[in-house]
Amino acid sequence: MTKVDYLQKQFDAVDRNELLWRALDKAALKGKLRPDAIQLLHDMYADKCKIIDGEITLLNLDLPEAIDAIVARMPLVQPIKDDPAIADAERLENEALQGSVQAHGALWKKFVAQSGGNESLGDAKYREWCDTNKAKPGLKAADAAAAKAVGDLDAADLLKVGASTNPWSAEGWNITSQGNAFKADPALAARLAKAAGSHIGATKPTR
């Protein structure tokens, strides 16, 4: 095997793992799979995914169909009626869609946990969820697209400066937190302020 072939094989393996994670996440979020079974199914089938005609397949089916077929024959991974794990996941997503910064932070941490603690992979899943649902911390999903022009603001940004809400927003206005955020990362602090329609040095929130 040449070095190029080896590197391609490694790259393909990463693609397979990432796409399987995403397909399992989506199945769980749609209520087709118990959320706590994602890791189990990933471990069982990650090395069984194949690339055929440029597409990732599993059991000779595309990933969503394959996951449906697998779940159908594995009762232990099927969601149960009124499954509290699914109810909690739905509630968390609904709160995030309403703009709750705390929910966005919890959702980010959840994706990281589901990625085995890999923050880069978890962050990519979180950002994909936000893009798919047009969601943004501090804004209802319906209003998030309009805020795109001020630059991406997400839960990971707030965690970086030790905040749970945007300290420049009207509801989260906090001079001390603003100072701490500016000391931690001036450029990020400026983005947070702009996202709230404010600016560094403002004396009161924008209403």
Sheet of 61-62: strand order equals 49-52, 55-58, 61-62
Question: What is this structure's pTM?
Answer: 0.43
Print the domain residue range for 24: 3-77
Burial degree of 101 (CB within 10 A; 0-12, 13-18, 19+): buried
Total domain count, the chain: 2
Residue pLDDT, tens place only, 170-185: 877 888 888 888 887 7
Instruction: Please indicate, yes or no, if residue 59 is contained in any of the structural domains.
Output: yes
Q: Quick one: 111 and 183 in the same domain?
A: yes
**For residues 180-194, average pLDDT:** 82
Q: Quick one: 99 and 68 in the same domain?
A: no
**For residues 116-134, average pLDDT:** 84
Indicate if the pLDDT at residue 100 is higher than 80: yes
Q: C-alpha 63: how far from its chain's center?
A: 19
What is the reported pLDDT for 160? 64
> Given 77, 109, 126, which residue is the final one in a domain?
77
What is the reported pLDDT for 150? 39
What is the reported pLDDT for 69? 92
